[in-house]
Amino acid sequence: MSVLETRGLVKDFGGFVAINDVSFTLDHAQKHAIIGPNGAGKTTFFNLITGHLEPSRGTVRFDGREITGMPPHRIVKLGLARSFQRINIFPRMTVWQNIQTALIARDGKHFNMLIAGASQNRQETSELLDLVSLDTESDEIAGELSYGKQKQLELAIALAENPSVLLLDEPTAGMSPQETRDAIALIDQIAVTRQLTLLFTEHDMNVVFGIADRISVLHHGELIASGEPEEVRTDAEVRRVYLGENEHAAA
Amino acid sequence: MGLHMPRGTLIVCLLIVGALALLPLLESRYLIDLATEIMVYALFALSLNVIIGFSGNVSFGHAAYFAIGGYVNAILLTTYGWPLWLSFPAAVVLSALAAAFVAYFCTRLTDIYFAMLTLAFSMLVWAIAFKWRSVTGGDDGFVGVAVPAFIDSRVPFFYFTLVIVTGSIALLWTICHSAFGQALVAVRENLTRAGFIGVNTRMMRGLAFVVAGTFAGVAGAIFAMYNRGVYTESAFWTESAQVLIMTLLGGMYSFFGPAIGAAVLYILERFANEYTEYWPTVAGLILLVIVLVLPEGLVGLARRIGARLVRRSGA
Instruction: Parse chain A into domains and list their residue ranges.
Output: 2-79+163-250, 92-162
A-facing residues of B in 52-111 (CB < 8 A) are none
Q: With beta carbons under 8 A apart, name residues in chain B contacting A73.
A: 195-196, 198-201
Give yes or no for residue A9 having a pLDDT over 60: yes
Q: Is B208 on the interface with A (CB under 8 A)?
A: no
Q: What is the CA radius of gyration of chain B?
A: 19
Residue A36's SS3 state is: coil
B-facing residues of A in 59-88 (CB < 8 A) are 71-73, 76-77, 81-82, 84, 88
Task: Judge: B178–A93 Cβ closer than 8 Å, yes or no.
Answer: no
User: Which of the pair, B68 or B268, is modelled with greater confidence?
Assistant: B68
Q: Is B175 on the interface with A (CB under 8 A)?
A: yes
Q: Is B300 on the interface with A (CB under 8 A)?
A: no
Distance (Å, whole) CA A64 – CA B62: 46
Q: pLDDT, tens digit, for every residue of A224-238?
A: 989 899 888 888 888
Candidates A88, A98, A112; nearest CB to B192: A88
Q: Which pTM was predicted?
A: 0.90
Q: pLDDT, tens digit, for every residue of B80-105?
A: 999 999 999 999 999 999 999 999 99
Q: With beta carbons under 8 A apart, name residues in chain A contacting B178.
A: 112-117
Average pLDDT, chain A: 89
Task: Judge: B200–A71 Cβ closer than 8 Å, yes or no.
Answer: yes
pLDDT band at A250 (very low <50, low <70, confident <90, very high): very low
Which string of b and e fits B155-194 if b means at least 16 CB within 10 Å? eebbbbbbebbbebbebbbbbbbbbbbbbbbbbbbbbebb
Asked if residue B70 lies in contact with residue B223, where contact means CB atoms within 8 angstroms, the answer is yes
- Sequence-distant (≥ 6) Cβ neighbours of residue B301 within 8 angstroms: B251, B294
Distance (Å, whole) CA B136 – CA A65: 55
> What dotted CATH number matches A2-79+163-250?
3.40.50.300
Q: pLDDT, tens digit, for every residue of A57-70?
A: 999 999 989 999 89
Inter-CA distances, B169 with A94, B44, B52, B255, Å = 25, 10, 17, 10
What's the pLDDT at B3? 65
Inter-CA distances, B117 with A139, B103, B112, B129, B134, Å = 38, 10, 9, 19, 28
Instruction: Parse chain B into domains and list their residue ranges.
Output: 7-236
Q: Is B313 on the interface with A (CB under 8 A)?
A: no
